[in-house]
Structure 1
Amino acid sequence: MKKIVFLNPFVPGSVSGGVKVVYQHASMLGALGYDVSVYQPAGAPPWLDVGDDVRVCDQFPVDEETVLVFPEVMRDWLLDFARTPLGATKIMFCQNQYYLYSYGIERSDLVRMGFTHFIVPGQEIARSLTTVLGLDQVHVVPISIDSQMFYPRAKENRIATNPKKWPFQNGNPALAHLIMNMLHLKYPETRRFPWIYLENMPQHEVAEHMGRSTIFLALSRQEAAPLTPLEAMASRCALVGFHGTGGKDYATHRNGHWFSPEQCEEIVDRLASLLFGFEHGDPSIDMMLDEAEKTARRYTIDETRNALAQVYGLIMSQSGRASLSL
């Protein structure tokens, strides 16, 4: 039987939506009957609930019976390995086109490396890879929400956010902290509403905090298919913030309040309006929350599983053939 190996040679403690999706795909493919491993020499991520059905390895075969799934992080060891002629089939699971573009790797380079197929998590990134790099054989396997984990709990009027995409950098303030301070300065009465930073915690704690929060401040930045805002929608949080480019796949004026990163004061005004609106039972908020939950329900595990079955069925039937042509 042909083997599928996901290359994930990253530090286990690094919390990442991309890593979470890699392990999800590995688990689903294993359940579909494939021989699947995740190459992560330092071990599985402690913050992620990795089931016994996912095999984590520190070595793997590179023969004609193996399909190697590279990430888009084309640097250091991964780049050297991608350039190495191998008997194995090479495909790429590209979860962020901006990482790939930052290396200046052209279509011709990817062809010479031997990549045959590109899997992506959304329509926006599929369009981008086609127009920027001229790639074909780009397949969408949509992201999905675990509805058993992300759902509404008893709500407390508070703001949850994931601040890591906009840290303090080159003198520019960390954006979550800046927006919080601006909110407190312009609307001092909002100081009584807590903020929850969703960082350095296991997935089940993130889900618990989201489920109890009324508002999620989305700070998505240069992402292919932002998953966290969708998880917040499933948790019935009011969405305020950025779609991060890939969020154009699902962000509308009906399911959230979407702004550009330059609109900090407008974001502050909307946060204050929502905090006070929740406090006084504003019925218009429920209409938006209903739309947000409806949006999240489109991203089902069944859709992801069906797409994986179709895409990997095609890849396996073609593995061992020539790569893309120049």
Structure 2
Amino acid sequence: MEPRAYFVCPDTDVPSGGVRVVYRAVDHCNDAGIPAVVVHDQPGFACTWFEHATPVVCAAQAAPVPGRDLLVVPEVYGPRLGEIAPGVRKVVFNQNAYNTFHGYDHVTAPGTTAYDHPEVAGAVCVSDDNAAYLRYAFPHLDVRRITYQLDPALWFVEETGAPRPRRLTYMPRKHADQAGQVLNILSQRGALRDVEVVPLHGMNEREVAAAQRSSLVFLSFGYPEGCPFPPKEAMAAGCLVVGYHGMGGRDYFTHEHGYPVPQGDIVAFARQVEEVLDAHRADPAGLEARARTASAAIRARYTPDAERRSILEAFGRHLPGAAAPGVPLVTVA
């Protein structure tokens, strides 16, 4: 039997870009002839908020083989991730470097983290910012960076021939307290007088994409982030994106293609949104042309092929070759 890659994934069935990428990584591996599965903890669990045909097993069914198989573990498993499936080579799929030290003491002795475990062969991250973080924290660690894709069938500018409705969207699960402050300031100033405000909540992937393609402005409140999906997707859908790049979003969320504001600066955030809305009232065609330029640039960079190639290189290089008896996968709380 060929080497097999086991991708451990949290049992969460709410929209999460990171979980979606785990499933796609498994699909890319299988399409390339590398047998791979998603591993959830509970029997019968699989994500339902997006469409997929990805092979899924529960932890009790997974038995990776030392010397042959690869176990891919999310960074959220913390200090004990190296203890899962003893003897099996592991790679940390770190999709948010700012979670790296969750669960650790404030001063952890050098060489004692999960990233120093002899079975941890390296880490895979999702942005230049996060790669720099991990390389600085762990100079010995093999760090590879992948490129997320944007699904071209979902994230595109819908050309209707008419100006976009003055609709503003945001993710209420991202710093809801700050979203409330920004929106209330704008409301008190009358800046939302002709604006429909739509929280993106309780929607599946296709519904969110449809909402973004018919919106003018997206407010980005997420930070710190690995490589945030919502502002990237909104930009690809033709929204004018205002807000936080979350550190990991600096790869694409620039002044050229968006309206980044300092993290936590509520007044600067509100002021920038008001300026964008006023500019659209004065020159809708000019603002929407800027949005189309940003969409074209980001869609050209974050392609399915770029994701596929980066995932196969990052994870495939860690697959060893020899065979040995399987080791039951024991989850670590």
Corresponding letter in the other structure for 1:214? L
- State the partner residue of 1:305: 308
Measure how far apart 1:287 and its partner are.
4.8
- State the partner residue of 2:295: 293
Aligned residues: 307
3-state SS of paired residue (2:220): strand
Corresponding letter in the other structure for 1:2? P
Q: Structure 1 stretch 99-108 or stretch 109-118: which is displaced more?
A: 99-108
Corresponding letter in the other structure for 1:161? Y
Cα distance in 1, alignment partners of residues 240 and 292 from structure 2: 10
The answer as to whether partners of 1:233 and 1:295 remain within 8 angstroms in 2 is no
- State the partner residue of 2:51: 49
In the TM superposition, 1:1-326 aligns within 5 A as 1-11=2-12, 13-40=13-40, 41=42, 42-50=44-52, 52=53, 54-58=54-58, 59-64=61-66, 65-75=68-78, 80=80, 82-84=82-84, 86-104=86-104, 107-109=111-113, 110-112=115-117, 114-153=119-158, 154=160, 155-167=164-176, 174-186=177-189, 188=190, 190-297=192-299, 298-317=301-320
Task: Flag the structure with more relative contact order, 1 or 2, with Cα contacts below 8 A and sequence separation at least 6.
Answer: 2
Corresponding letter in the other structure for 2:265? Q
Measure how far apart 1:131 and its partner are.
0.6
The answer as to whether partners of 2:75 and 2:99 remain within 8 angstroms in 1 is yes
Measure how far apart 1:311 and its partner are.
2.3
Quick one: structure 1 residues 233 and 159, their matched pair in 2 at CA, closer, same or farther if it must change by over 3 Å? Answer: same
Structure 1: where are the runs of 5+ without partners? 168-173, 321-326
RMSD, matched Cα: 2.1
The answer as to whether partners of 2:15 and 2:205 remain within 8 angstroms in 1 is no
3-state SS of paired residue (2:62): coil
CA-to-aligned-CA distance 1:115-146 (integer Å, 9 cap, x gap): 00211111111111011232431111111111
Quick one: structure 1 residues 20 and 3, their matched pair in 2 at CA, closer, same or farther if it must change by over 3 Å? Answer: same
Quick one: structure 1 residues 241 and 84, their matched pair in 2 at CA, closer, same or farther if it must change by over 3 Å? Answer: closer
Corresponding letter in the other structure for 2:24? Q
Measure how far apart 1:218 and its partner are.
0.9
Q: Structure 1 stretch 208-217 or stretch 40-49: which is displaced more?
A: 40-49
The answer as to whether partners of 1:6 and 1:38 remain within 8 angstroms in 2 is yes
Measure how far apart 1:312 and its partner are.
2.9
Identity %: 24
Corresponding letter in the other structure for 2:248? G
TM-score normalised per structure 2: 0.85
Deviating 4+ runs (over 6 angstroms): none
Measure how far apart 1:221 and its partner are.
0.5
The answer as to whether partners of 1:121 and 1:225 remain within 8 angstroms in 2 is yes
Structure 2: where are the runs of 5+ without partners? 324-333
Corresponding letter in the other structure for 1:217? L
The answer as to whether partners of 1:158 and 1:275 remain within 8 angstroms in 2 is no
Cα distance in 2, alignment partners of residues 147 and 176 from structure 1: 29
The answer as to whether partners of 1:243 and 1:251 remain within 8 angstroms in 2 is yes
Measure how far apart 1:84 and its partner are.
4.8
